[in-house]
Structure 1
């Protein structure tokens, strides 16, 4: 305990410990306007029921109209009240500018959206009221919802993946949202109940066009349910309202599977079985965890995907799990060395691969399980320079192959149904406005695509929604509604999917050094998401199975691998294009 030195005021943020709880304190009698503003900003970070203490800083009218759940503005640090501005005759009272740097917002659907860091400036207005102890200052105008610093947001909120079914298919798609870490102040629901309610409320607006949920409109938890408990047999019973009472068993099982996937990483007690109940308490259906695999994405996280790379002789090579073992070339033309390979992509079933020629002019497809099979050229670029030709290819979980032709005269995003046939152009709406595609990666579920786009000398990462219309043999495919996934990074050089809603990204922030880090598709991340440093990274790949190690290419170290809980380890001194299937 220090016994000397000056006393300094410390802001509520940064507070990184998620176990810290803030108990809000009501305003003291006779509090000055600055104290009211500071006390209210602190009270917004608490968990008290319906933000009751925070409301004591507001006028009665403002307290009634304030809806903290409709929007949360996230700043890089705690909001900073500027100097007071006294009002005039037309605006009696006091204004306090609320200053900061906005990095994200969360909407009423709990959807987080990162934005390019932007100056934030709003105003809190106070007026003098007649209180029980005489005149008192209270807030009568302020920004909508909650305004929190990033550390307070991370302390109070928890990321959760809700799961819905890809339209017309029996495979689940992750829909990331944020719920309260503890009891929700407004609904008084615990985290498990919040997650189930958010799932029943339906997909977020961005993902909604490409997913579906099997239950009738209006299906929600039975009225009055605030807590869902897991019994000593790891069974979670979920009572639903009357809208769900007459659904069939197939529909019911699909919703139970959605709940199992959603709660997989949330509850401290593992949910082994979900029992859905009608409003009268009778059983609708039961689904246990051993049955959920039938609804998993094509990538099936339990599958141990192999790692591949292109060796120094331009051959597609299988990278052994044990670094002591010798890498082996795949069977067929792609592993023979007669066709020198550039970047490659291996289909998710690991029977076929696509590869660029060394000059990026040709894209060829060939089996990698048979020594006799031949390669087929599926497209050629007319770009003059290698950087203006084809990008590295990518396979989605449907078996379709994607590539970008970066020809300056006719840039295109192309898709090959089943990895063969004529290339089908894919529209991007509302357009790229002059930006060009440098690289792409399609998600395993086929509903989202990560694009590295270069514009005005900077390469940024955006996520687009993959929409399909029409019959399977004549589908019109569109990439719509691109949104930034790493706006805090000045430039991004490599990206790979690393789970249902997670990406591993190589890039750097303004004035910073190159980083390898995990980022969610909504742009959220944490300090813990930064991975051990690695110099000169030109490519990175991750498995959909999050237990598998990252693999990267370093200009100085060759092909390297990052096992869990360890540092990067060199596996092969020379090589390029490390990939997992996808």
Structure 2
């Protein structure tokens, strides 16, 4: 049965291992009109629910028993939807032929907080034929559409229903489902057990670097296409970007490119290299174009391989098009690393921009002021951002009214401010700045009389206002721009609540002076009542500080599509006011805590104090 199901009748999920699995499944076939959950290892034990993200649990559907009651038909079908059964063949046995023809499991998924809870039955009304209607209850928290894009929503009452009629099967009247919601309806833990998040990659429009586009594919063999996860990932990449990202990215694959017909499995060889057979449309690509196509595949497949992908070879109708090694693909990386060690920075107790470096002894922290006016104390800083090439930094004065840019590699005088806010106070003037991967500097002026989002091309004046569509009366409190420059994370304040939204950055007009707009804001953490701080933590992941209604402050990872997992919750830390993460996930998180000072979170450890006083911890970006 589905590991998130709440049984209305008898039965339950079963865990089994080895040779015992077959026997247990046979018993379940006798006892249940549903399915059994069988892992690859472990003792036999009855369960009512699997822990969230329990990917080792396997669900095997069984057909309805003869003369099954309506309750059993409904529960059995809901449970069979959570299986990996080829084309959901067993689930379809609960449906009439017309309903089976209508039902398309690949049309998407409705994700509920817990498994759908059927209530009823109630007599059908307004129907030509007699039957029973079972309303399905639950709190919907997300949708996944047919392009595999995930979208969270604020918990909303779900309102689907299932209708049953009686039909004659083998001379016996049996209950079957003749009307049902399109696609899948799954509890959150069943969704996480069946699906996994992967990033597919496309090129920023007109640029030479890649942008992550997160989607969900099946953890194991896709019941509909029978493709393994690697092949699924290649297919969704070839299908093109998700609708939200499409206006700001390009794909060099020639139109109509697809996997060679009949390909359902792709395997890495002993050198972790992969050959990808494509149809004849791919043969139109030239060598430079093919290298970019291969780079898209290399980055997409990284999430699916425990070891670095050695190389990808593209084939068109059996002939080799090009080969690209993993190291060669780095020229297209979204964060385009400088090759230098990544170092965090912070503002010390004297308002100077300083580095945070640890020596061989991790208990020793080297606090070194940067070269130039930001390190000498020529201006006292309140918030900072270091350019991704680590040659310049942007600093907001400690009264949060003026923004300066200065070198951090050479001495020099502090120039005039790029902008001065008419607002007052830490919350009513300038926000902390942020650099994108193009070298542009972004900042929000939070002056209540003149709120605006500003961009400085190449980190220099004049200020270029950026229109943010869909604010609906909200004001920008804080921002972080992605390394690829086509997405921006915004903390928006309205009615005493601060929410996290992701916006798409669109550029139109001349390349040297485009009109820039932030559009199609999407809620990323609708379950959080308020969000305090955010930082990019990789190509499609954010680290977020916030709290749910009635809850305590927490630090957690959230994908840019808003999806989360239990593994994303990080060790607790009180009174966090700022958070910083590097594009390289091997680097520790850095945070500012009113209780503990500037702290870091090394892999597999708890938060550790680095310096007891200071503010504005940042990595380049």
Task: Please tell me the TM-score bracket, short chain as reference.
Answer: over 0.9
Return the match for 2:193 from 122, 131, 155: 155
Counterpart position of 2:72? 35
**Aligned equivalents of 2:515 and 2:178: distance in 1?**
52
For the Cα contact (< 8 Å) 2:338–2:389, is it kept in 1? no
CA contact (8 A) 2:400 2:424 kept: no
The alignment partner of 1:30 has SS state of coil
> Residue 51 of structure 1: which of 83, 88, 93 is its match?
88
Counterpart secondary structure, 1:195: helix
**1:416 alignment partner in structure 2:** 456
Name the residue aligned to 1:4: none
1:205 alignment partner, one of 228, 239, 243: 243
Q: Aligned pair 1:230/2:268, yes or no? A: yes
For 2:101 and 2:180, the matched residues in 1 are separated by 13
1:261 is aligned to 299
Select which of 351, 355, 373 maps to 2:391: 351
1:69-80 matches, cutoff 5 A: 69-80=106-117
In 2: Cα distance, 1:179 partner to 1:570 partner: 39
Among candidates 390, 415, 433, match of residue 472 of structure 2: 433
Structure 2 length-normalised TM:
0.90
Q: Which residue of 2 aligns with 1:62?
A: 99
Q: Is the 8 A contact 1:489 1:508 kept in 2?
A: yes
- State the match for 2:26 in structure 1: none
Indicate the residue corresponding to 1:512 in structure 2.
Answer: 551
Structure 2 unaligned blocks of 5 or more? 1-8, 14-47
1:464 aligned residue (498, 503, 506): 503
2:41 corresponds to: none
- Distance in 2 between the 1:248 and 1:112 partners? 34
Residue 380 of structure 1 is matched in structure 2 by: 420
Matched, 1:243 2:242: no
Out of 112, 118, 124, the position equivalent to 1:81 is 118
| Aligned counterpart in structure 2 of residue 120 of structure 1, from 158, 168, 188 | 158
Structure 1 CA distance for aligned equivalents of residues 177 and 227 of structure 2: 28
Q: Give the SS at the match of 2:327.
A: helix
CA contact (8 A) 1:29 1:133 kept: no
Partner of residue 484 from structure 1, selected from 523, 535, 548: 523
Do structure 1's residue 474 and structure 2's residue 501 form an aligned pair?
no
Note the alpha carbon deviations across 1:484-506, whole angstroms, 9 max, x for none. Answer: 01111110000000000000000
Q: Is the 8 A contact 2:308 2:326 kept in 1?
A: no
Greater mean alpha carbon deviation, residues 552-561 or residues 231-240: 231-240
Q: Which residue of 1 aligns with 2:369?
A: 329
For residues 235-314 of structure 1, the aligned pairs below 5 Å read 235-268=273-306, 270-279=308-317, 281-300=318-337, 304-314=341-351
Instruction: Measure, in 2, the Cα distance between the counterparts of 1:329 and 1:385.
Output: 26
2:229 equivalent in structure 1: 191
Q: State the Cα distance separating 1:533 from its structure 2 match.
A: 0.5
User: Secondary structure in 1 aligned to 2:585?
Assistant: coil
Note the aligned Cα RMSD (angstroms).
1.5
> Residues 68 and 417 of structure 1: is their aligned pair in 2 closer, same or farther, counting only changes over 3 Å?
same
Tell me the distance in 1 between the aligned counterparts of 2:190 and 2:330.
Answer: 37
Q: CA 1:21–1:414 in structure 2 vs 1: closer, same or farther (change >3 Å)?
A: same
Query: Tell me, what secondary structure is at the counterpart of 2:284?
Result: coil
Q: Structure 1 length as normaliser, TM-score?
A: 0.96
Residues 353 and 374 in structure 2, CA contact (< 8 A), matched pair in contact too:
yes
How many angstroms apart in 1 are the aligned matches of 2:565 and 2:127? 45
Q: 1:134 to 1:408 in 2, by over 3 A?
A: same
Q: Secondary structure at the match of 1:265?
A: helix
Identify which of 392, 410, 434 aligns with 1:394: 434
TM-aligned CA deviation for residue 265 of structure 1? 2.0
Change (3 A) 1:15 1:58: farther
Deviation at 1:534, TM superposition (A): 0.4
Q: How far has the Cα of 1:13 moved from its partner?
A: 4.2
Check the 8 A contact 2:196/2:216 in 1, yes or no.
yes
Once the two structures are TM-superposed, the CA of residue 9 in structure 1 deviates from its matched residue by 6.2
Aligned residues: 574
Equivalent residue, structure 2, for 1:450: 489
Deviation at 1:269, TM superposition (A): 5.6
1:527 and 2:566 are equivalent in the alignment: yes
User: Secondary structure of the equivalent of 2:293?
Assistant: helix
The answer to whether the 8 Å contact 1:393/1:403 transfers is yes
Please show how residues 134-145 of structure 1 align to structure 2 within 5 Å: 134-145=172-183
Which one of 355, 361, 365 corresponds to residue 318 of structure 1? 355
